[in-house]
Structure 1
Amino acid sequence: MTKSNINLTENIRSWVVNSVDHNAKIITTGQLKGSTSSTLYRISLQLDQCVEHVVLRLFDNDDWLSDEPDLALHEAGSLCLAAKADLETPAIIAFDEKGEHCGMPTVLMTMLEGSLTYNLMIGRNG
């Protein structure tokens, strides 16, 4: 994560809580690295005695949205298809296709533990 306790709007925070469990409380938020078409956040929520971590993807890149305004819908559909594979994948929790709740198209998904690895093969022939 690059930043912690990012101030997300109250509308976004409420949407996240209501999408997960209306009794949940947001403990921390932090921006994640590695996205080009959107901004990713890790959100930790207190649920009774448990802490749950989710990923919020805000499609805030106007250039990408002008070319593909249904990015959130495609992402949600891709996560649903991926869930059928024999792989560990994030699960879709909710999505705001047009940004009616969050102010921009948004996807909320479960978080997988791990780290981001860049594997650039520059100047290498197949």
Structure 2
Amino acid sequence: MSRHLRAGERIVGTEALHGGITAEMRRLTIGTGEGGTRDLVLRTFVDPFFVEHAEDLLKTEAGVLPLLAGAGVSAPGLVAADPTAAHCEYPSLLMTHLTGRTVLDDEGVEARVPLLARQLVAIHALRPAERPREYVALTTADTVVTPKDADAAAWAAAIDVIREPAPPYEGRFLHRDFQPGNVLFDVPLPGPAVPRITGVVDWVQTSWGPADLDVAHCSTNLALLHGPAWGLRFAEAYEEAGGVLAAAASERLYWWVRDALAFSEEVQSVGRPWREAGRKELTTRVVEERLDAYVTALMDALG
């Protein structure tokens, strides 16, 4: 890390940052030559699965972060990247630190959802000179894991939806993991002031695809964090903010169900960072129950 610091600087402290699933995150406090400090953030892939895919993921983020500078979307600045662990023990990326914090509490969600929607509309409006890679959807009808005691009929119908070919779409610049855990807020003390978004992080999955896919992903996260009604509400907020979704209900259903079903394969890992952040009540069982309720609500609303 010291090779990428300014003259006279050195690392004087580190702090683990919680809330992520795919990587270890650390805030590095840098002592400056003038006696002050500044912060950087180090992303490190240590899980064997993500180490295997780290080169592609970190090269994507290293390429995207400079494109976002001055584009109207607040994101970290790239300092250095080591996608193949040529210099670090594990594949890593060093970036600037953004102010703000993730907010996952139920309290205040009604004020944050419109802000999230407007931020996602701004991301989808980006038109970089070089288009990112096409989106990847790994879930298949054969890999879905139906939760215990789930509504079997609703899940069978949802699985049948993603057996069909993907509907046509107009491509957009996608974050691909846009959700409350990757959005930083400045939350004022109790009073009339409203929160504001200070930045969006974790751009390793950036790709090109349907806006519905990003909306679906944030909707599923909101449904599991705050209840199924908030998952359905986010799509409305996105359109109210000027976003455009698929015109046909059947097309929307395809993307939204595809994302929700993807969570069934990793439900045990999804709730862990939320519990670490203070949402102790979001046990694996609670997350499963909310996922079942959300899939059922999607099928009732659009199926």
Distance 2:64 2:19 in 1: 19
Structure label with greater radius of gyration: 2
Is residue 61 of structure 1 aligned with residue 61 of structure 2? Answer: no
Q: Point out where structure 1 has 5 or more consecutive residues left out of the alignment.
A: 1-15
Q: Cα offset for 1:83?
A: 1.7
Contact 2:9 2:31 in 1 (8 A): yes
- 1:42 aligned residue (18, 27, 46): 27
Tell me: CA distance 1:115–1:93, structure 2 relative to 1, closer, same or farther (3 Å): same
User: Secondary structure of the residue that 2:99 maps to in structure 1?
Assistant: coil
- 1:52 aligned residue (25, 33, 38): 38
Is residue 30 of structure 1 aligned with residue 132 of structure 2? Answer: no
Name 1:121's counterpart in structure 2: 223
Distance 1:98 1:22 in 2: 26
Deviation digits for residues 34-57 of structure 1, max 9, x if unmatched? 111110000001111231100000
Look up the equivalent residue of 1:91 and give its one-letter code. Answer: G
Distance 2:91 2:58 in 1: 6
User: Secondary structure of the residue that 2:19 maps to in structure 1?
Assistant: coil
Q: Point out where structure 2 has 5 or more consecutive residues left out of the alignment.
A: 105-179, 181-221, 233-303
Distance 1:94 1:22 in 2: 16
Q: List structure 1 runs of 4+ shifted beyond 6 angstroms.
A: none
Contact 1:71 1:105 in 2 (8 A): no
Name 2:57's counterpart in structure 1: 71
Tell me: CA distance 1:21–1:100, structure 2 relative to 1, closer, same or farther (3 Å): same
Cα RMSD for the two superposed structures: 1.8
Identity %: 27
Count of equivalent residues: 111
Contact 2:54 2:83 in 1 (8 A): no
Distance 2:40 2:6 in 1: 12
More strand by share: 1
